[in-house]
């Protein structure tokens, strides 16, 4: 069965998206899901043409992905009809026969593919947040988690989305609102984060320079070295493999600067109708070959 035939089945009428509490808070406060990029990863084999971004979902609320959230987690209930009207969606048996080999059950997931790196939360029907405070011994961590859960509930209410809080894992997985916890238990507060991520040169910065520059003197030493290597076919192949790895590592919404750079590369590929990483590398190499020949 071809992937387009699979995706023609569309998303389940009701689907679920699992994430951690900090990611859920960011989603609700921003009003959008940040999608993962499929290019350079195993997901590319499922990707419909022109839709290089995807969001993972499952059609069962007892799926293997969120069974692991034993202390904290958030389940978004998705309106499948809303997504099907706007995006290319459908079930994918991602693990397939590999599930037993790697210790996971075979679980047919759903994928929502998009041409844009974000999807608004208009298709969210409800939010179910879980935190097991009794099994958190660190008082500061407990207060922090309680504060995050409270902020999630407030953000959901602000967005007009029903939200529920649970302290019992089985009640959360079942989304049994009769066993939802009293939000008055969320008495903790968190301190402003002192952590600031280090800013460093992205692995893909060379490619951004090669995309944007029009003269060799505009390139950094590293980018110019990449340009020089692209003169040779075998180096193009190595470059494409390396960039595919970098794009795969940058695919997650929390990948920071790397994800931002991957989005810029994908946008460039869309503008120039480039379907694969190898197409992109060849395009950039040919661009600089023409620039050098015109000197």
Total tally of structural domains belonging to the chain = 2
Spatial distance between the Cα atoms of 25 and 156, rounded to a whole number of angstroms: 9
Across the strands, what pairs with 163?
Answer: 127
pTM summary value: 0.81
- Is 214 a member of any domain? yes
| 212-244 pLDDT, tens digit each | 999 999 999 999 999 999 987 778 889 999 998
Q: Of how many residues is the chain composed?
A: 295
| 178-209 pLDDT, tens digit each | 999 999 888 878 776 644 555 556 778 999 99
Could you tell me if 222 and 122 lie in one domain?
no
Does residue 273 come out as left (phi exceeding 0), alpha (psi in the -120 to 50 range) or beta? Answer: left
- Is 197 a member of any domain? no
What is the percentage of the chain residues whose pLDDT exceeds 90? 51
| 1-24 pLDDT, tens digit each | 334 444 456 788 899 999 999 999
With beta carbons less than 8 A apart as the criterion, state whether 9 and 90 touch. yes
| 154-174 pLDDT, tens digit each | 999 999 999 999 999 999 999
- For the stretch 270-279, contacts whose Cβ atoms lie closer than 8 Å and that sit 24 or more positions apart, written own/partner, are 270/50, 270/52, 270/115, 275/49, 276/39, 276/44, 277/39, 277/40, 277/240, 277/243, 277/244, 277/247, 278/236, 278/237, 278/240
Could you tell me if 60 and 131 lie in one domain?
yes
Could you tell me if 211 and 148 lie in one domain?
no
């Amino acid at each position: 069965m071809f992937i387009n035939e699979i995706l023609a089945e569309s998303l389940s009428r009701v689907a679920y998206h699992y994430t951690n509490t900090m990611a859920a808070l960011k989603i609700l406060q921003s009003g959008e899901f940040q999608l993962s990029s499929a290019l350079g990863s195993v997901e590319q084999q499922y990707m419909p043409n022109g839709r290089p971004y995807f969001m993972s979902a499952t059609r069962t609320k007892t799926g293997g992905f969120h069974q692991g959230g034993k202390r904290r987690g958030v389940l978004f209930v998705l309106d499948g009809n809303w997504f099907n009207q706007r995006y290319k969606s459908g079930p994918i048996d991602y693990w397939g026969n590999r599930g037993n080999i790697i210790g996971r059950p075979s679980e047919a997931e759903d994928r929502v593919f998009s041409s844009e790196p974000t999807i608004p939360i208009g298709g969210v029907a409800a939010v179910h947040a879980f935190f097991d405070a009794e099994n958190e011994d660190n008082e500061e961590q407990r207060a922090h988690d309680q504060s995050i859960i409270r902020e999630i509930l407030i953000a959901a209410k602000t967005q007009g989305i029903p939200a529920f809080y649970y302290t019992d894992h089985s009640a959360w997985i079942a989304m049994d609102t009769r066993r939802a916890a009293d939000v008055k238990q969320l008495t903790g507060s968190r301190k402003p984060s002192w952590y600031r991520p280090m800013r460093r040169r992205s692995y893909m910065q060379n490619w951004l320079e090669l995309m944007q520059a029009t003269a060799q003197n505009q390139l950094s030493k590293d980018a110019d070295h990449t340009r020089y290597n692209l003169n040779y076919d075998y180096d193009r192949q190595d470059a494409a493999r390396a960039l595919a790895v970098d794009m795969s590592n940058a695919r997650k919404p929390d990948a920071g600067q790397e994800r931002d750079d991957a989005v810029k590369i994908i946008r460039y590929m869309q503008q120039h109708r480039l379907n694969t990483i190898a197409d992109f590398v060849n395009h950039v190499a040919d661009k600089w070959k023409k620039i050098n020949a015109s000197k």
